[in-house]
Chains A and B, each alone.
Chain A
């Protein structure tokens, strides 16, 4: 009898319970030790210095480009994962946000082909007389 009553109540108030539960989650939110943020902050400074030094020492060619991309991806990863708390979000959100930008890479490859073609035509027809 009591069981049935509680059972029914549980069903009737399921949405309300849900609301309370999410409210509690919001109030608590993302709590992580301050030290973690300071360590990441330090690393961002180190990585930024590294990418500046790439230019300062005038590295060229593939070494320059790969180092720039490496430091860029590390910095972006740290910011998104720790500062924006993506590392602690559920995968349903993380994948919904992080996967779509991959489409940009497809766009990049299309535009690389396109700009090489444009460059080819410009060299062919409009090359500056030197």
Chain B
């Protein structure tokens, strides 16, 4: 009898699955997200709210594009580049997409090595991710410069509907800000990982709580979300 009591206290292996599991988790005592730490749950909830923010931007872009009577500038042509004398449509955005996907891959590997407590590889992979992110922001700066030189403004452009500029600067600008914050976040966590904070359970500077390698996964959630948002921006703004 004592053993049954012990196995029932706090061990998470015997939880219900499926719809009964959802009902049991949400109706249960203390916490709904049973095997997820508060840090990870809050990152997910933040990402959900960020989803709504980006959804509103893309929605306002959709509304502007559907309701204008002027032709919408063709993104395929606007973002084309001349490379080696050849005119390649949308090539800059394609390269940016591949850069961001590469960074997502290195981030996923960093999370994996973090849980294996491989301090050096985790830190290096996070720095590689940050480098890809910085490359992405750099290419975005180039893209903005090119478009501004060609006369694109939030209130007008040479090719058609005036809302093209405002939508473009708002959506890509907000996304670029997210990438920039992500790069800073990555470098900060990579420094902690490399220093071995999570091996010696050194206390945090602001929170004075012990850190765990889970922060790498939480960081990864943010980074993958930035990539995820780009998937939608790429589809709706650049390809549509």
A interface residues with partner B (beta carbon < 8 Å): 2-3, 6-7, 10-11, 13-15, 17-22, 25-32, 34, 37-38, 40-41, 44-45, 48, 51-52, 54-56, 58, 64-65, 68-69, 71-72, 75-76, 79-80, 82-85, 89-93, 95-97, 100-101, 104, 107-108, 111-112, 114-116, 118-119, 122-123, 126-128
Contact yes or no, B1 A22, CB < 8 A: no
Extra A-B contacts (10), CB below 8 Å, given A2-B2, A111-B59:
A18-B10, A29-B115, A69-B235, A79-B104, A83-B220, A92-B34, A93-B41, A97-B44, A104-B59, A115-B63
A contact residues around B197 at 8 Å (CB): none
Inter-chain contact B41/A123, CB cutoff 8 Å: no
Residue from B55, B64, B235 in contact with A72 in the complex, judged by beta carbons closer than 8 Å = B235
Interface status of B188 (Cβ within 8 A of chain A): no
Residues of the B chain whose Cβ atoms lie less than 8 Å from the Cβ of A85 = 217
Do A34 and B112 touch across chains, with their CB atoms under 8 A apart?
A: yes
Q: Which of B133-141, B147-155, B178-186, B226-234 is the contact stretch?
A: B226-234
Say how far B59's CB is from chain A's closest CB, in angstroms.
5
Known: A14-B9, A52-B90, A90-B15. A79 touches B224 (CB 8 A): yes
State whether B231 touches A107 (Cβ < 8 A): no
Question: Contacts A7-B5, A83-B104 hold; do A91 and B109 have CB atoms under 8 A apart?
Answer: no
Nearest chain A residue, comparing its CB with the CB of B32: A92
Find out whether the CB atom of A127 lies under 8 angstroms from the CB atom of B69.
yes
User: Contact at A79–B9, with CB atoms within 8 Å?
Assistant: no
The proximity string for B residues 97-127 relative to A, scoring 1 for CB distances below 8 Å and 0 otherwise, is: 1100100110111011001100000000000
- State A44–B55 Cα separation when bound (angstroms): 22
Q: How far is the CA of A34 from the CA of B116 in the complex (A)?
A: 11
Q: Which residues of A contact B90 (CB under 8 A)?
A: 52, 55-56
A-B pairs, 6 with minimum CB distance: A92-B25, A17-B10, A18-B10, A115-B66, A41-B105, A118-B67
The distance in angstroms between the C-alpha atoms of A58 and B59, with both chains bound, is 25
A100 touches B48 (CB 8 A): yes
Using a Cβ cutoff of 8 Å, how many contacts connect chains A and B?
198
Taking Cβ atoms with an 8 Å cutoff, the residues of B that contact A are 1-2, 5-6, 9-12, 15, 17-19, 21-22, 25-26, 32-37, 41, 44-45, 47-48, 51-52, 55, 59, 62-64, 66-70, 76, 89-90, 94, 97-98, 101, 104-105, 107-109, 111-112, 115-116, 212-214, 217, 220-221, 224-225, 227-228, 231-232, 234-235, 238-240
CA–CA, A95 to B12, complex, Å?
19
B94 touches A52 (CB 8 A): yes
User: Which of B33, B48, B97, B231 is in CB contact (< 8 Å) with A79?
Assistant: B231
**CA distance in complex: A68, B62 (Å):** 15
Q: In the complex, are the beta carbons of B69 and A84 less than 8 A apart?
A: no
Q: Which B residues are CB-close (under 8 A) to A69?
A: 235
Contact at B239–A56, with CB atoms within 8 Å?
no
Complex-state Cα separation, A20 to B34, whole angstroms: 13
A45 touches B115 (CB 8 A): no
- Let me know if A90 and B34 touch, CB within 8 A: yes
- Please tell me if the beta carbons of B66 and A48 are within 8 angstroms of each other in the complex: no
Cβ contact of B52, chosen from A80, A83, A104, A118, cutoff 8 A: A104
Chain A, Cβ-Cβ closest to B51: A101
Which residues of chain B are near A11, meaning CB under 8 Å? Answer: 5, 9
